[in-house]
Amino acid sequence: MGEARPVRTPASAEPGGVRAAAVRVVERTIGGRSPADRLLARAARAFDERDRRLLSELVYGVLRWRLRLDVVLARAARRPLEEIDRELVSVLEVAAFQLLFLDRVPAHAAVGEAVTEARRRRGPGAAGFANAVLRRVAGAPELAAWPVEEPDPVRRAALEHSHPELLVRRWFDRFGSEAAERALAAGNGPRALHLLAFADRGGRAALALALAAEGVTTAPSRLSPLGLVVTSGAPLATPAFARGDFYVQDEASQAAALVPEPRAGELVLDAAAAPGGKGIALLAREPAANVVFSDLSLARVGRVAENLERLGRQAPLLVADATAPPWRAAFDRVVLDAPCTGTGTLRRHPELRWRFRASELERLAGRALEMLRALAGAVAPGGCLVHLTCSVEAEENERVAERFLAADGRFSPDPLEGLAPELAGARAGPGRWRTLPGDGHDGFSVAVFRRAR
């Protein structure tokens, strides 16, 4: 399928309403490397709060469901998608998403604005084509009316769940079809809000009571011993948020940060810290741990400082390169949240699925290994080095661990004993912990290396 070309109109002069803005954000996200949330935030400045919500829903919806929408559009257009003018593809995708997924959006509004945008881009003929295609979709506005007709199970799953076939085939081979389909479905599921409570403020039980008094209902996390899952209400608008009683963090990210369990008095280096979630989770679990937050740039360290300030926490903040750390044998625990393809976070960052490449796997794995080798020298004898990613790919996790252990004989896999019950079930082998995307949470992988005394 051809990728839509980004529209080059200056932002101050961009025409159209919220739907036209959604088309431009989708095009720029697919055609570039910028995160969708950054492009979305820039486009949202032109709209009020209601239209901002619609803009976000349209952009993330299309980014998640592109392949499935394209199946519908190809059948409604009665021609392969490759034969449709590239300038029209994202226009049709945004309109089709509204027709198939958003009951509250009137069909005439979705079709009318798409036809107007098609005419602006490619003239009256394109407008007539868009009108005919979208009226066919509007006549059968349910996915069930446009089934995927594909005999190959991997290809069918890729189209039905709207993930690239390369990634789907890998997951089928590695996790089996059932686990892979659950992870694929999770990539398109609702984005639950997860909260991290603090042990020194009463833990999640006290936080749940405080939020309930402020109109927010929650349920305990099944993955994190300090996590709450929001079931209703607006926690970010509560006095509890203003007081710094909780930090917003996916429950799987919380859990991954607590492998292995922190200890009182432990000296910890969070080596690539921004925005601070892993080190904050350690402090939430064990307030008597001593966490040093470090990152490559002053701007990134500033993001950590902002979060710590809201939470009322103090900790050393340093600008340092993880590939050249200025410490030797100083820390009981060094944590590296390594750069990766992010395949465990496709629910929150759907654009990453369309950027997945085998070459990126190798590049990022090499970068992570370089950082691990450098940080190994900062671990004190008897201490541990924690390699953590939001990827579930073997090249970025197990293979990196194998290469690191082969290169540095001072380290061996940690047995991961004494984990909290919520954490223990995700152990995946010696020194390894993993949870796949599912049940409203992301996927994370952890490897823990213990340095010999």
Report the catalytic residues.
390
Burial class (CB in 10 A: 0-12, 13-18, 19+), 10: exposed
Beta strands in 307-443 (DSSP E): 317-319, 331-337, 379-389, 411-413, 427-429, 432-435
Minimal CA–CA distance to 93: which of 29, 8, 10?
A: 29
Minimal CA–CA distance to 121: which of 96, 84, 83?
A: 84
* Cβ burial 307-328 (10 Å sphere, 16+ → b, else e): bbeebebebebeebebeebebe
Record the tokens describing residue 325, joined without a space.
């750390």
Beta strands in 272-353 (DSSP E): 290-295, 317-319, 331-337
d(CA 397, CA 400): 5
d(CA 277, CA 257): 8
CB-CB contact of 265 with 288 (8 Å) = yes
Query: Dihedral through CA 437, CA 440, CA 442, CA 446, nearest 10?
Result: -80
In a 3-state reduction of DSSP, which class is residue 11? Answer: helix
Taken as a whole, the chain contains a residue count of 453
Record the tokens describing residue 103, joined without a space.
């009951």
d(CA 26, CA 23): 5
